[in-house]
């Protein structure tokens, strides 16, 4: 028989009704027999429903320790922890004139066969020499000559880093990118024209393990995570715009970093064309299963789902659906981040403005306040 708790708090462990951490079961009278069924779900012995509060009180310390162990067991140790020490993020350690020569570790197509276009996850070995913080970007100089400046190299292309500072190998030596291959379709014939394909994205998606790559950066401060581990983060992504958020979420839920133990709320809205185009969905659904009190994940699949007016479901339709909660969270100091193609912003801004007006609020004033409070973070390209 399952027993759901009210809200309780023991030595810093919060217990919410009916969700993950605080889900307590009445099973046996042997207190030492405390066990866990799955992540963050405690099987707690209690002889009767009437007494469960006192049992929680007496055993709270065991429960807390065990819950902590349970959470940590699912987290990955990272190194070197000195990467936490700096007070400021690394910036422009390598410039276009003197880029760092890094090595491709892997290139993996991460969308299904029905996705329009191709997106790849690319792991790059920088040997620990081009450190970065979550939310920053790397620059890539593709090989070859700049067609606009004969004899000169190509211009730098920026890519949001999709891993944490520890990289996908958790040792601080790699950085990952999430790259969509830019292709060109002739508007008249509708056929692909390979002579006009994107230079850098195709170079990256076609590269092979062991190949060299010229890196600049890291750059960008707009998308850095605030220090507060209790903060609320509302993340709005379209397509590869999910890259910085993958980094944030790995830091929050996958890695064991003693000085950053996330206890806030992270809410990801991801807009893509269809379910085959979802990016890092396995990681995100695992966080949802393991951290239901700290993570929310909403997907807008424009070619598969309909909005309430029967049109395509875009990320702004999801924002509208949850606008009351989003506005309340913003009023409470939440950070909101936008990342993806430039074209996403007008629709989102229109929706936010409309919702603000329905609530009797002035959107321009609210927006300038959010900017002033450093709650508003935009990186679109
Ligand atoms: P380019 O060679 O620069 O070409 C640009 C476009 O023009 C392509 O679509 C190409 O097909 C088209 N084109 C080429 N020739 C012609 C022609 N003759 N006529 C008409 N069209 C033509 N991208 C990501 O995929 N992932 C990210 O995480 C990411 N993060 C970014 C972060 C920031 C801060 C910024 C500014 C950009 C980011 N980008 C990201 C975009 C990225 O920097 C590149 O702009 C993108 O990959 C295209 O570069 P490319 O070299 O492949 O295309």
Question: Look-up: residue for tokens 């206890």?
Answer: 263
> Per residue in 197-237, pLDDT tens?
999 999 999 999 999 999 999 999 999 999 999 999 999 99
Residues of the chain with pLDDT under 50: 1-70
What's the CA gap between 381 and 241, in Å, rounded?
A: 9
**How far, rounded to the nearest angstrom, does the alpha carbon of residue 134 sit from its chain's CA centroid?**
9
**Residue 333 CA: distances (Å) to CA of 41, 135, 264:** 30, 19, 12
* Three-class secondary structure of residue 369 per DSSP: helix
> Residue 246 and residue 244: Cα distance in Å, rounded?
5
Taking the CA of residue 203 as reference, the ligand 1 atom at the shortest distance is: 52
Q: What is the pLDDT of residue 74?
A: 79
Rounded-to-integer distance, Cα 254 and Cα 164, Å: 10
Please work out, in degrees rounded to the nearest 5, the angle formed at the alpha carbon of residue 231 by the alpha carbons of 90 and 263: 105
Cβ(157) – ligand 1 distance below 6 Å = yes
Mutate to test the pocket of ligand 1, among 111, 115, 180, 201 (most ligand atoms within 8 A of CB): 201
Residue nearest atom 46 in ligand 1 by C-alpha distance? 201
8 A C-beta contact, residue 138 and residue 177: yes
Q: Ligand 1: which atom is nearest the Cα of residue 162?
A: 28
Instruction: Find out whether the beta carbon of 137 lies less than 6 Å from any atom of ligand 1.
Output: yes
- CA–CA separation, 111 vs 13, rounded Å? 38
Say if ligand 1 is within 6 A of residue 184 CB.
yes
Residue 117 CB neighbour total at 10 angstroms: 12
* 357, two tokens: 């007006």
Q: Is the CB of 182 under 6 A from ligand 1?
A: yes
- Which residue stretches of the chain are H helix? 52-58, 60-73, 199-206, 243-249, 281-290, 315-321, 323-331, 344-358, 363-372
- Ligand 1 neighbourhood includes 196 CB (under 6 angstroms): yes
Query: How far apart, in Å, are the Cα atoms of 192 and each of 25, 113, 185, 285, 358?
Result: 59, 18, 4, 35, 45
Catalytic residues: 159-160, 339, 379, 381
Going by the annotation, the residues of the binding site for NADP(+) are 160, 180, 240, 302-303, 312, 340-341, 379
Q: Residue 328: in which H helix or E strand, if any?
A: helix 323-331
Averaged confidence pLDDT in the chain: 85
Q: What is the CA(381)–ligand 1 centre distance, in A?
A: 9
Reply yes or no: is the peptide bond before residue 80 cis, omega within 30 of 0: yes
Residue 97 near residue 276, CB atoms below 8 Å? no
Residue 73 has a pLDDT of 62
Cα angle 53-27-7, degrees, rounded to a multiple of 5:
30
Return the percent helix, strand and coil in the chain, to nearest 5. 30, 30, 45
| Ligand 1 near 180 CB (within 6 A) | yes
Ligand 1 pocket check for 178: Cβ under 6 Å:
yes
Strands 41-43 and 157-160: unpaired
- Name the residue among 70, 28, 74 with its Cα closest to residue 47: 28
Which residue blocks in 143-293 are alpha helix, DSSP H? 199-206, 243-249, 281-290
User: Which residues are part of a known binding site?
Assistant: 160, 180, 240, 302-303, 312, 340-341, 379
Q: What predicted TM-score, i.e. pTM, was given to this entire model?
A: 0.84
Query: Which ligand 1 atom is at minimum distance from the Cα of 159?
Result: 30
Q: Ligand 1: which atom is nearest the Cα of residue 204? A: 52
- Measured CA to CA, the distance from residue 157 to residue 139 in angstroms comes to 5
């Amino acid at each position: 028989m399952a027993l759901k708790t009210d809200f309780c708090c023991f030595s810093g462990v919060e217990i919410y009704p009916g969700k993950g951490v605080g889900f307590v079961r009445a099973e046996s009278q042997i207190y030492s027999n405390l066990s866990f069924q799955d992540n963050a779900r405690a099987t707690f012995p209690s002889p009767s429903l009437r007494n469960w509060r006192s049992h929680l009180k007496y055993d709270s310390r065991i429960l807390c320790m065990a819950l902590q162990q349970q959470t940590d067991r699912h987290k990955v140790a990272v190194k070197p922890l000195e990467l936490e020490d700096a007070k400021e993020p690394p910036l422009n350690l390598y410039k276009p004139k003197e880029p760092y020569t890094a090595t491709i570790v892997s290139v993996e197509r991460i969308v299904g066969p029905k996705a329009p276009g191709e997106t790849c996850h690319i792991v790059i070995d920088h040997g620990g020499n081009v450190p970065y913080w979550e939310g920053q970007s790397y620059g890539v100089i593709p090989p070859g000559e700049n067609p606009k400046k004969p004899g000169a190299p190509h211009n730098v292309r920026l890519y949001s880093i999709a891993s944490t500072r520890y990289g996908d190998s958790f040792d601080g030596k790699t950085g990952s990118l999430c790259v969509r291959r830019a292709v060109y379709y002739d508007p008249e014939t509708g056929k692909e024209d390979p002579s006009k394909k994107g230079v850098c994205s195709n170079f990256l998606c076609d590269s092979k393990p062991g190949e060299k790559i010229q890196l600049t950066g890291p750059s960008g401060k707009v998308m850095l995570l605030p220090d507060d581990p209790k903060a609320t983060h509302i993340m709005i992504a379209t397509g590869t715009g999910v890259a910085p958020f993958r980094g944030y979420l790995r830091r929050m839920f996958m890695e064991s970093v003693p000085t950053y133990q996330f206890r806030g709320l992270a809410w990801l809205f991801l807009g893509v064309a269809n379910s085959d185009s979802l990016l890092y969905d396995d990681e995100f659904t695992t966080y949802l299963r393991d951290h239901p009190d700290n993570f929310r994940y909403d997907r807008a699949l424009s070619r598969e789902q309909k909005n309430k007016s029967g049109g395509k479901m875009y990320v702004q339709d999801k924002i509208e659906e949850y606008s009351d909660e989003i506005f309340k969270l913003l009023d409470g100091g939440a950070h909101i981040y936008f990342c993806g193609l430039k074209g996403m912003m007008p629709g989102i801004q229109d929706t936010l403005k409309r919702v603000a007006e329905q609530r009797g609020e002035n959107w321009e004033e609210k927006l300038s306040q959010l900017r002033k409070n450093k709650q508003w973070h935009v990186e679109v390209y």
